[in-house]
Amino acid sequence: MSRRSRVRQVVLQVLFQRDLNPGADWEAFLSRRLLHRPELVKFGNQLVQGIEQHRAELDRRIEQAVRNWKLNRLSTTDRNVLRLAAFEMLKFDTPPKVAINEAIELARRFGSKESAAFVNGVLDRLFQEKHSPRSAVSSAAESAPPITPDNSSSNS
């Protein structure tokens, strides 16, 4: 297992813990679990803090991708695996395919029997949305009707 994979496991534990006990001292837990190794703790802190900073947006995007499910209906593990991977794909410098593969492995290891396939499907939708031509549209225009061939330019 790579060092970054290990960090993601610990970050998943922190996110799980924060869902159930928001006041817990996650920084000490993270540092202890990563053996106080500065480069690993720094990466873990970046992930946790970034997820917390962008949590509302990440949750909204995940909820759109899960279709017909509310985020609070997902298992705590699946929800946090998705948050971690969505953050890495959308807001961090992790290549999307790496983020998806890492998330599938986390879901396989810590989730239910169906978690890996579920996480893969949701993250694939997020990836497709991010790389579709419509993703360039600002969030303020998200409520506008989709662009159709009749009203789009031919330079697509």
- Give the three-class secondary structure for 119: helix
**Per-residue DSSP letters for 9-30?**
HHHHHHHHHHHH-TTS-HHHHH
Q: So what's the pLDDT on residue 133?
A: 56
Q: Which residue has the higher pLDDT, 138 or 59?
A: 59
pLDDT, one tens digit per residue, over 119-130 is 999 999 999 987
pLDDT, one tens digit per residue, over 79-88 is 999 999 999 9
Given a cut of 60, is residue 32 above it in pLDDT?
yes
Q: So what's the pLDDT on residue 130?
A: 77
Q: So what's the pLDDT on residue 148?
A: 32
Percent of the chain at pLDDT > 70 equals: 84
Q: Which residue has the higher pLDDT, 113 or 23?
A: 113
Q: Which residue has the higher pLDDT, 70 or 111?
A: 111
Q: So what's the pLDDT on residue 85?
A: 98
Q: So what's the pLDDT on residue 132?
A: 67
Domains of the chain: 3-130 (1.10.940.10)
H helix intervals, 67-156: 76-90, 96-110, 115-130
Nearest residue to 53 (alpha-carbon basis) of 21, 18, 91, 99: 91
Q: Which residue has the higher pLDDT, 133 or 34?
A: 34
Q: How many residues does the chain have?
A: 156
